[in-house]
Chain A
């Protein structure tokens, strides 16, 4: 493949490209889903192809195809150059210039103890049906679901600057979910998280460690209990967010607004821009002193962990918010060059048929000093809420509103009754400035989101978020009429 890719890059250069890169990507996935005692779906998907990205006279072009013979790839390279020449009709001023990086020859792969594609399907089905049976033993359960998924991406990146990088990434995800239905009310409870469970970059050992059947009964009981729980009242109160909900809060209100392509307007017509404009870098009080956020593509097990990004830039750990102060972006070679920063290795593409965009790596709220128990004990009146149910944020990432699957009242330092349909809303920097307690290392966990959407045509990225339960003061909760 190396020789073919190098000939393709050479062809792109002959056609007029001042820079070109080619990515050969081979992806396979397997998903096993059960529902109400039956195997609902077992499916294996496979897709492979090559994408060629070129810079011609300072304008970008990209073409991609699923046929990987040399003749087809030569046509793709020529098409990419034709597309770039069309882009030059309205070119940026000044033309695109990428920050320089050292060429790299390297190999990288996710450390895997037990290959998830080698585990017998029967074993996966049995684990899920065991959990399913336990869930359905709880009265009031209407739908019990479970899933175990495996994903592998093998890719080769080659560039006209001399980089040649082979990587193999393996991910697994697993979870259970219950729908309880009664008298026109429907409530859902998931474990360990609600995007097909939780995800990690590693082998099947992660799924074994989750031990889904062990949490089946509690998950089902909570779903049924929610049916008769009190409606969350509308008020302003202190809120403790559990780790999986906080992961999404970080994702939407920090992860997306620090993507420098978004900041520079490149997503304006789709999901929007960012309030974290370049003039705020190093100056803006994003959160309280308790809030330190990093982007870390080197942490073991994260969905945003890799060796090199899709521009050949090494994975890095970057500080984004330092004790409340906004100090860093996620960047590409192009955007870093444009505003005089360093590339942070955050460019990733959703497969062979998409261009790399700036994507979150693992965006982590660094641990604080508190145990969850200490935070609850220290809260006179408030609400503890967890597990993502609904999310929405405006097109500059300021006004957000989220809903969680479950919540509990806190009174005088103790957990009280369960509340249903918990929603909370706020303005991003006001919310993070109200954070006064962050959970410690023992409470801290890495969460995987396999469905981060961005770009046109749309791309789904696999990203990670480290978080521990944390407290936010004076939050508006219970939005809307119920």
Chain B
């Protein structure tokens, strides 16, 4: 970490060194550590310190962009000059209106000294608890325990000066026997909020209950999706359609659908980087302040997210969803899905014959505008019969439209979990769906 003054001094210098009509500088500071384990020992253990500066310049509507991690005075000057060289030989981009003007930045917190100062020994001790819990039962543990501190500073020639720092701590584990596997994970801003013993217990329980799975025929089943599986569905839904650019280019399922009900009315989703229940962020990568934005309210599509480019094209204001790199695609990155009233036990108890899914694996879009995605279940897939979990089953492949699935909602969980996303995360409940389409099965 370099601190507020140094981070702001790097981006301010970059703006001052530039003779462009408009200049924007973003610096991202990373101090990240990760302790990785498998076969009941620590097999990788790494640390990284980086300071990456990105500069965008505008000569009229001619744009150039460059980045460097050499952030001494000479490095900053060279980076600015490279961006300028590019802009000079560029063609005009009529979509460019202006980099954002300054606005008040909210104080959102999110930085915890305890996480920033977490030692390799503390991470190793957390890992040791998982390994010991697994090995004492004759099981094999794999996983990763990471802690990171980060800083983001943005300055531009219109007067934006923004600084934010935050921390993250994440732990995941897969516990394996010869006959099955189980998974659990935790994500928080404060490392003390992560309980390795609790994570181990959940994964071990899943692993033991997963032993000797039976092969079931693929087809349509009722499903109870635990929060991790829901996080995958909702994350893909957000990614595939809620960017203004996707709508502008006619490749979003939201084209012509804003204001219409597109999923079950029990589904409400919003983006809110200011909520301390997630991994908060004060502003986006153009320095635009974060604020809550409704995406789906009672099943009705309400908004898409903008950066300054997509907003400028429509004469609107950015919603503060520019992502790193510049000239990319705006994205909702701090998602929240409203909770309901049901416990997981009630969801299972109300299921006559269905599948309980712990999480999905290797999911990819098949047809984005139809929201059809495919992927596997993994690390804890069970058959529910007459309201009880009766046996583990071999992992299924699903091929399903997310919108179709979200129109089959029967129950929404009352408890929510925070799962990892691209920048912030996604806070989601469990869901029970009346129908979900499994199209294949694997050998384990």
Contact = CB atoms under 8 A, between A and B. Distances in A.
A457 B146 contact: yes
Contacts of A481: 401, 437
Contacts of A47: 50, 52, 67-69
Contact of A46 (B32, B42, B79, B131): B79
Contacts of A328: none
A66 B367 CA distance: 41
Interface in A415-460: 421, 423, 425, 427, 456-457
A401 interface: yes
Contact of B443 (A48, A184, A427): A427
Nearest to B360: A392
Contacts of B395: 394, 399
Interface string A398-421: 110101000000000000000001
Given A60-B45, A86-B123, A355-B46, A142 B249 contact: yes
Interface string B163-176: 00000000011101
B46 A43 contact: no
A76 B65 CA distance: 31
A145 B441 CA distance: 37
B66 A45 contact: yes
Given A86-B123, A481-B437, A394 B369 contact: no
Interface string A84-98: 111111111100000
B435 to A, nearest CB: 11
Contact of B437 (A42, A456, A480): A480
A433 to B, nearest CB: 15
Contacts of A398: 442-444
B362 A41 contact: no
Q: Could you tell me the dominant secondary structure of chain B's interface residues?
A: strand
B38 A265 contact: yes
B376 A399 contact: yes
Interface residues of B, number: 92
A401 B397 contact: yes
B38 A353 contact: no
Given A89-B121, A142-B250, A266 B46 contact: no
Interface stretch (A4-12, A117-125, A159-167, A379-387): A117-125
Contacts of A66: 49-52, 69-70
Contact of B442 (A43, A353, A390, A399): A399
Given A86-B35, A87-B35, A427 B442 contact: yes
A82 interface: yes
Contacts of A91: 41-42
Most chain B beta-carbon neighbours within 10 Å: one of A43, A143, A275: A43
Contact of B361 (A86, A394, A421): A394
A373 interface: no
B143 interface: yes
B174 A269 contact: yes
A80 B48 CA distance: 10
A268 B38 contact: yes
A49 interface: yes
Interface string A336-377: 000000000000000001110000000000000000000000
A60 B41 CA distance: 11
Contact of B440 (A65, A142, A399, A403): A399
Interface string B73-111: 000000100110010011101110000000000000000
Interface residues on A, range: 35 or more
A299 interface: no
Contact of A399 (B63, B367, B397): B397
A86 B124 contact: yes
Contacts, number: 272
Given A60-B44, A456-B34, A401 B374 contact: yes
Contacts of B312: none
Interface in B365-410: 365-370, 372, 374-376, 378, 395, 397, 399-401
Nearest to A126: B91
A192 to B, nearest CB: 21
B48 A179 contact: no
A39 B94 CA distance: 10
Given A61-B45, A398-B442, A403-B366, A86 B142 contact: no
A395 B361 contact: yes
Contacts of B366: 389-390, 403, 421, 423, 480
B90 A39 contact: yes
A272 interface: yes
A431 to B, nearest CB: 13
A123 B237 CA distance: 39
A271 to B, nearest CB: 7
Nearest to A476: B440
B234 to A, nearest CB: 18
A62 B44 contact: yes
A220 B121 CA distance: 57
Nearest to B129: A90
A258 to B, nearest CB: 18
B64 interface: yes
| Most central of A40, A62, A65, A66 by chain B CB within 10 Å | A66
A44 to B, nearest CB: 5
A395 B120 contact: no
B64 A42 contact: yes
A86 B45 contact: yes
Nearest to B249: A143
A479 interface: yes
A353 B90 CA distance: 33
A275 B49 CA distance: 36
B318 interface: no
Nearest to B29: A66
Given A63-B46, A179-B249, A421-B367, A265 B437 contact: no
5 contacts: A43-B325, A86-B35, A181-B250, A272-B361, A394-B442
Given A79-B47, A84-B45, A393-B362, 7 more contacts: A43-B327, A66-B69, A83-B45, A87-B120, A269-B172, A399-B376, A421-B367
Chain A to chain B: the 3 pairs with minimum beta-carbon distance, closest first: A86-B120, A480-B399, A268-B142
